[in-house]
Structure 1
Amino acid sequence: MMKFLFSTLSLALALAAVPPRTHAAGTNQTEIIAVIGAAGEEEFETQFKEWADRLPVIAKKARAKLTTIGFEEPGEINDRELLKQALASAEQDKLNDLWIILIGHGTYDPRAAKFNLRGPDLSSAQLASWLVSITRPTAIINCTASSGAFLKPLSGANRVVITSTKNGMEQNFSRFGNFFTQNLASPEADLDQDEQTSLLEAFLKASKDTLGFYESAGKLATEHALIDDNGDGYGTRPDFFRGVRATKKARGGQSIDGLRAHQFHLIRSEFEAKLSPEVRAERDRLELAVERHRSRKPHMKEDLYYSELEKLMVTLAKLYASVEEVEKDKAVAKPESK
């Protein structure tokens, strides 16, 4: 029985690991909402603009929808209200990724953490309340000082939260946003060499480059970025990762941080770009289920562990096989060119 089980599991693993030659056509409908806050001084305004100006270029390559706030001269509606409206509109999509990138200054006191905008500032509590109705996969990247205080209020299911500081008390000017926008679609950040840079990989490379900035300047680092994607609100530091896997166990039996963030990509590989949003979402769900199951291995009987793993891997293999069948049917139905 065990011999048969391992043979079946090996076949399932092989089928799941090798991408099919053809895939269901999909459209990358990722949405980016980018906000530049109040700069205050000209020096900061120049830097924030330089960082933010990289985003339209990336969005064009990714064929993503880009909404910018704070890029132009202020109008009758203040920037905080514009962000609220953009998020209300984003509620309509239930499947495609939403990226929210905040660039600027942040402040913190025991009463509230805030992102400084032209006009009324945005508190972590306000942003959290506006995100409640958004069920699509969402990434919030706060590149400001004191942004660590945003992590716990924003943490939740199907969300990735990245902050440039570990808490609200790191209040010095943050340079993380510069390196994050540099690495967001950089091949140099592609740690696992799968021809695409994930949100996790951009976070890790940006964190490394930020630390390198302080070291080369002979200064003590005043910002320490965190990533949270398991919903526990604690976050994980970049130095707890080896490659793209966290070596630190999550609290309370949660899955480790980084797994979900590694499934977010702006500019996808040729293979990923051909998957429909529905297929990609199901594939992501199954991959996370496999990782959660593997984390339970020390606490399960061997036969039960491999039996349950087999079910997951076979389901994953069938998903790829069904996509290939759809493409074969399309090829057969396609009329011959004259």
Structure 2
Amino acid sequence: MLTIGWLPPGSGRWNRHLVKYLRNTAAYLIRPWTACIVCVGLLLGTAAAQDAPSAATHAQPLVWIFTGLPGDVEHLMRFSETADLIHQTLQTRFGITKNDLRMLFGEGDWGGHEPCTRANFDDEIGRIVEATRSPDARPIWVFFVGHANSNDRDAFFNIGGPDPSARALGKALRKTRTTVPLVLWLTTAASGKFVKHLTGPGRVVVAACADDVEDNETEFPHVLAQAMAAPGTDANADGFVSVLELFVAVKAGLKESYENEDLIQTERPLLDGDGDGQATATPAQTDAAPAGNVRLTITPNQ
């Protein structure tokens, strides 16, 4: 297992982000998602015109949330808040039932979730593959939250036990059925190195940063969690929140976060919607269409 002693200490930039996160949580639910309505609306219009979604694409998905080793106490608290918000929003806003939602978290028993050990991780990846091959298969969304690192040859998701590499994860998911939409949210550092191993037909892959650009921890998962809960993320007010809408909202949220801290933005999210392995910050029509068609349904009481 790779250690995480390299993580930034609880000072300086981390403290500023923590204070900013706590102070502006309410603000994130409103801004800056509304600022990107026109942009995402144009992309969604293009997507709808190009590729009419199937009923299976719009079915409520099965969801997995993998939160690896969070690190010190401050990171533990922050990642637990983020993972819990994603978990809660999927249930309360999008009506995902507990039977359709699986979360592994860190080490030990945290919040009633099983730990994200290598054995548990491999078992759940196997269940994802099996779920795509079911006769009544539904779309699948998978979130990777926590820390990752890379070397010249590969990238690694930090969990309890031997860290799964990008290559190993790509190989494990190779048997998924390509007719079943599979959405992969790679929210960690070094996520750009995972893309080429995980893209493919029927998949939409979102990475927090480009290859060899960001090896520090990212703000992406925390902004994503807020975007999922924000009413304005349904930019075209159609009662759904698509991968494309979330991607655009997170881009806007990250830009504002870095500007407010007067910091140079080092993480720029990328999206690959057509499975060609070419993830970009500004999705072309061929990427926007699939990403706009795979979506979560907002429950009526929301």
- Secondary structure of 2:296's counterpart equals coil
What amino acid is the match of 1:33? W
Matched with 1:279 is none
Q: 1:90 pairs with 87, 112, 128, which one?
A: 128
Question: What's the offset of the Cα at 1:182?
Answer: 1.3
Q: Give distance in 1, aligned partners of 2:114 and 2:211.
A: 34
Conserved? CA contact 1:187–1:195, under 8 Å: no
Matched with 1:38 is 69
Q: Give distance in 1, aligned partners of 2:58 and 2:272.
A: 27
- Secondary structure of 1:218's counterpart equals coil
Q: Give distance in 2, aligned partners of 1:79 and 1:219.
A: 35
How do residues 1-338 of structure 1 correspond to structure 2 at under 5 angstroms? 28-61=59-92, 62-64=94-96, 65-70=100-105, 73=108, 79-94=117-132, 95-135=137-177, 136-237=180-281, 240=282, 246=283, 248=284, 256-268=286-298
1:22-61 per-residue CA deviation (whole Å, 9 max, x = no partner) reads xx9x995511110111122222111111110012222323
Q: Give distance in 2, aligned partners of 1:125 and 1:99.
A: 20
Conserved? CA contact 2:203–2:275, under 8 Å: yes
Conserved? CA contact 2:141–2:182, under 8 Å: yes
- Secondary structure of 1:117's counterpart equals coil
Alpha carbons of 1:78 and 1:189: their partners in 2 closer, same or farther (altered >3 Å)? closer
Count of aligned pairs between the two proteins: 234
* TM-score, normalised relative to structure 2: 0.71
Q: Give distance in 2, aligned partners of 1:177 and 1:34.
A: 11
Conserved? CA contact 1:184–1:199, under 8 Å: no
Higher relative contact order (CA 8 A, sep 6+): 2
Alpha carbons of 1:50 and 1:177: their partners in 2 closer, same or farther (altered >3 Å)? same
What amino acid is the match of 2:287? D
Alpha carbons of 1:107 and 1:133: their partners in 2 closer, same or farther (altered >3 Å)? same
1:145-195 per-residue CA deviation (whole Å, 9 max, x = no partner) reads 111111111010000111101113311220010011111253211222212
Conserved? CA contact 2:239–2:297, under 8 Å: no
Q: Give distance in 2, aligned partners of 1:261 and 1:78.
A: 28
1:33-92 per-residue CA deviation (whole Å, 9 max, x = no partner) reads 101111222221111111100122223233331111125616998622212211222333
- Secondary structure of 1:258's counterpart equals helix
- Secondary structure of 2:156's counterpart equals strand
Q: Give distance in 2, aligned partners of 1:200 and 1:234.
A: 16
Q: Give distance in 2, aligned partners of 1:118 and 1:86.
A: 14
Q: Give distance in 1, aligned partners of 2:140 and 2:121.
A: 13
Conserved? CA contact 1:28–1:63, under 8 Å: no
Q: Give distance in 1, aligned partners of 2:272 and 2:160.
A: 28
Question: What's the offset of the Cα at 1:269?
Answer: 6.7
What amino acid is the match of 1:31? L
1:208-234 per-residue CA deviation (whole Å, 9 max, x = no partner) reads 101111111111011111010111111
Q: Give distance in 2, aligned partners of 1:71 and 1:78.
A: 5
Which of structure 1's runs of 4+ aligned residues deviate more than 4 A?
26-29, 74-78
Conserved? CA contact 2:66–2:144, under 8 Å: yes
Say which structure is richer in helix. Answer: 1
Q: Give distance in 2, aligned partners of 1:27 and 1:192.
A: 16
Alpha carbons of 1:79 and 1:212: their partners in 2 closer, same or farther (altered >3 Å)? same
Conserved? CA contact 1:79–1:119, under 8 Å: yes
* TM-score, normalised relative to structure 1: 0.64
What amino acid is the match of 2:95? R
Q: Give distance in 2, aligned partners of 1:155 and 1:38.
A: 25
**Unaligned 5+ runs, structure 2:** 1-47, 50-54
- Secondary structure of 1:91's counterpart equals helix
